[in-house]
Amino acid sequence: MAFRFAPLLAGLALALSAGGALARDFIVVTSSDPAFARGQGFDAGARVALGPGHKLTLMHASGDLVAVTGAAGGVVLPRRTATQAEADRLAVLKVMVVPTPKASGATRTRGICPNPESLTTLDAIVQVQAAGCRASAGEALESWFATHPPQEP
């Protein structure tokens, strides 16, 4: 009986280790240092080699925007906890903020897309993205960034 569960346990262990490797607490929204790409992920408490005169704006899994300013020895990101739901939402938002080449032709949607101005929460933006309305969700997310100033840690 235990022999039949061995492949299942091996698959579960692989899935958990892969998920853990991809988990991040912060993603880069803007950077004045070209070494940091938009959408790049960081763990809470990580030391980031951000030099003096440079600034990163990061989004935490909670949705909070945090601005960090570089220093000679780099900066340590704030230690913050996030729920699994917040981490899942951040994974979708990460896909949205990573620059992608503009596709030619029409994109497919599963219905009529809402007006980006009507999307005022991150959860609503993620739902619209999941429904296939990438342009509306992208515009709404950029507007959300513009209207939510980052906090200094």
* Cα(86)–Cα(63) distance, integer angstroms: 8
Confidence of residue 109 (pLDDT cuts 50, 70, 90): low
Confidence of residue 111 (pLDDT cuts 50, 70, 90): low
* Cα(128)–Cα(124) distance, integer angstroms: 6
Rounded mean pLDDT of 44-53? 94
Q: Higher-confidence residue: 17 or 120?
A: 120
Look at residue 1 in the predicted model and tell me its pLDDT. 44
Contact 97, 39 (CB under 8 A): yes
3-state secondary structure 65-95: EEEEECCCCCEECCCCCCCHHHHHHHHHHHH
Q: Which residue type sits at 89?
A: R
Look at residue 98 in the predicted model and tell me its pLDDT. 85
- Can you list the alpha helix ranges (DSSP code H) found in 23-147? 84-97, 122-130, 134-147
- Give residue-wise pLDDT tens across range 116-151: 999 999 999 999 999 999 999 999 999 999 999 898
Question: pTM for this one?
Answer: 0.72
Query: Which tokens belong to 89?
Result: 């939402």
Longest CA–CA span in the chain (Å) reads: 62
pLDDT for 80 beyond 90: no
The pairing of beta strand 47-48 with beta strand 55-60: unpaired
* Cα(30)–Cα(67) distance, integer angstroms: 9
Rounded mean pLDDT of 40-56? 94
Confidence of residue 153 (pLDDT cuts 50, 70, 90): confident
